[in-house]
Amino acid sequence: MVITEEPRVNLWSSCYRCKADFYSYSNPEFKAQSDEIYNSEDVKNRVSKDRGNNTLILVGSVVAGFLFGFFVL
């Protein structure tokens, strides 16, 4: 399996998505090795970090909008 696209969680979408190409091997002796970047625990940590960053951006935007509206109006 080869991950071809991995859009991360962002302000517009809270979904974690990926696209992959799957290959089959005819050699029964071959054993695929796992790629550490796609370790499920690491992915969960990256997604949590992205959600935290998006929350900070959202809260900061709301506060900035409120302050801008308060001082302008």
- pLDDT (0 to 100) of residue 35: 64
Q: pLDDT value at position 2?
A: 78
| pTM (2 d.p.) | 0.48
Domain edges within the chain: 2-72
Per DSSP, 18 falls in state: -
- Interatomic CA distance for residues 62 and 60, integer angstroms: 5
Residue 64 has pLDDT above 90, yes or no: yes
Report d(CA 9, CA 12) in Å as an integer: 8
One-letter amino acid of 10 = N
Query: Which tens digit of pLDDT belongs to each residue from 16-58?
Result: 778 888 877 677 676 666 666 667 788 788 888 888 888 898 8
